């Protein structure tokens, strides 16, 4: 179990803050069932890999996962690409979160594997992330294509 001080609670009010949240959520698993857009908010539950903590047990790596709540405020519009909201049994793999701003609008892009995407039109950037309970141990660690190639070479 990760001590309480290792649990994360973050807020993003600008692109730099959002980048830090995105790093914590890389390779997070997001059930479509948990995605809710109501009033001016968009919320979802993410099963995040705890990149900020690892142990050893029996000389084998031991990692952790945790459920986190992610809240976007001031949301005016939600657009989805590659999937429908009614695909409730699907779980998406979160790769990155980025912000794209111009003089007229601010869009937050949640980029998932398989070219799935959620775009949020926001009046201003305000995002909250918090671990919901103690993390649990796992032996599995997400790997990426470049890591597979390096292991083969």
pLDDT tens-place string over residues 139-149: 777 775 544 44
- Residue 140 confidence (pLDDT): 77
pLDDT above 50 (res 48): yes
Tokens at 8, concatenated: 């994360």
So what's the pLDDT on residue 146?
A: 46
Buried b (16+ CB within 10 A) or exposed e, 104-131: eebebebbbeeebbbebebeebbbbbeb
42 DSSP assignment: E
Radius of gyration of the chain (CA): 16
> Which of 59, 77, 72 is closest to 119 using CA atoms?
77
According to the model, what pLDDT value does residue 87 have?
A: 73
Q: What is the pLDDT of residues 17-29, one digit of tens each?
A: 999 999 999 999 9
Contact 66, 46 (CB under 8 A): no
This prediction has a pTM of 0.84
**In the chain, what is the greatest distance between 2 CA atoms, to the nearest angstrom?**
56
CA count, 13 A, side-chain hemisphere, 88: 4
Find where tokens 């005016």 sit.
76
- Asked whether the predicted pLDDT for residue 105 surpasses 90, the reply is yes
152 in helix, strand or coil? helix
DSSP state of 113: G
Closest of 45, 108, 110, 122 to residue 81, by C-alpha: 110
Dist. CA 57–CA 71, nearest whole Å: 34
């Amino acid at each position: 179990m990760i001590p309480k001080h290792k649990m994360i609670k973050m807020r993003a009010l600008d692109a730099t803050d959002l980048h830090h949240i995105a790093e914590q959520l890389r390779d997070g698993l997001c059930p479509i069932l948990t995605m809710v857009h109501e009033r001016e908010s968009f919320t979802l539950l993410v099963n995040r890999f705890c990149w900020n903590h690892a142990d050893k047990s029996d000389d084998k790596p031991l990692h952790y996962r945790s459920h986190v709540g992610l809240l976007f405020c001031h949301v005016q519009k939600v657009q989805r690409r590659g999937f429908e909201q009614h695909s409730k049994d699907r779980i998406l793999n979160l790769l990155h979160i980025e912000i794209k701003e111009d003089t007229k609008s601010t869009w937050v892009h949640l980029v998932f594997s398989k070219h799935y995407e959620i775009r949020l039109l926001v009046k201003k950037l305000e995002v909250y992330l918090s671990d919901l309970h103690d993390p649990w141990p796992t032996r599995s660690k997400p790997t990426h294509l470049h890591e597979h190639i390096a292991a083969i070479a």
